[in-house]
Amino acid sequence: MGANDGYVEIKNSSEGIGIIEFFHPQSNSLPSHLLDKLALTITEAGSDTNVKVIVLKSAGERTFCAGASFDELSSIRNKKEGIKFFSGFANVINAARKCPKLIIGRVQGKAVGGGVGMASAVDYCFATKYSSVKLSELAIGIGPFVVGPAVERKMGLSAMSSLAINATKWFDANWASSKGLYSEVFETTQEMDEHINKLSQKLASSHDNASSALKKILWEGTEKWDSLLNERAKVSGELILSDFSKKAIAAILNK
């Protein structure tokens, strides 16, 4: 695969910090092969005894993740392909959920759809003031069905409903922070990174069993998410085949 296909990579520091970075040239929108690689990388980092804490980040300055790849969405021709595609974000969320290591999120810019889902699936999320959020799925004839459980768990039903229903509105970082998505919001990425480094170093030096036990407690009540998110992927996989969705996606791609 070439540079235009994007990448997912992990760098392990000598202090036990595993930094997982993803990138795609189209505003960090993620096609299936990157979602699969991201889920696998999170899972492998979770079982690596040299990794004590994980930092999840994307490359670039102003967009954390623009959600699904619209090029790939437009190419879905049947229910099976639709389910497979929407299972991508489900697998990433479930990988983060089941990972025994605490995951710190680094959100430097806008997050849309699946990007909001990923920000919700980390255990402690840092952001900059540029990190507005939007769940745009309803506008293209589907809904935030796959990411919904993660967003609702982190922000509550009321905030998730606001995002899901007002699908074309950007909600700013301070709003997202007030609803619990972001733990801390900073003026600059430099300031944010300084605080990420401090916290990740503290967590890397903590007792492994204590961190793992805390992670289990934080995610209590989500034990059935493997089947739940699979069912949600089926709903989206069917709806994306509608004429409404096809026309909405085509209009976005032709802008």
Q: State which residues form the domain around 173.
A: 3-188
Rounded average pLDDT over 163-170:
98
> Apex CA 180: angle with CA 239 and CA 234, to 5°?
15
Indicate whether 231 belongs to any domain. Answer: no
Distance CA 96, CA 191 (A): 25
The 10s digit of each residue's pLDDT in 224-251 is 999 999 999 999 999 999 999 999 999 9
* CA-to-CA dists, residue 120 to 14, 75, 247, angstroms: 28, 28, 30
Indicate whether 207 belongs to any domain. Answer: no
Indicate whether 229 belongs to any domain. Answer: no
User: What's the CATH number where 23 sits?
Assistant: 3.90.226.10
Biggest CA pair distance of the chain: 53
- Token look-up 């990388």 returns 41
Question: In total, how many domains does the chain have?
Answer: 1
Indicate whether 112 belongs to any domain. Answer: yes
Indicate whether 63 belongs to any domain. Answer: yes
Distance CA 25, CA 252 (A): 17
> What does the pLDDT read at residue 233?
96
The 10s digit of each residue's pLDDT in 183-228 is 999 999 999 999 999 999 999 999 989 999 999 999 999 999 999 9
Indicate whether 222 belongs to any domain. Answer: no
Indicate whether 26 belongs to any domain. Answer: yes
Residue 17 predicted with pLDDT over 50: yes
Indicate whether 220 belongs to any domain. Answer: no
The 10s digit of each residue's pLDDT in 42-93 is 999 999 999 999 999 999 999 999 998 999 999 999 999 999 999 999 999 9
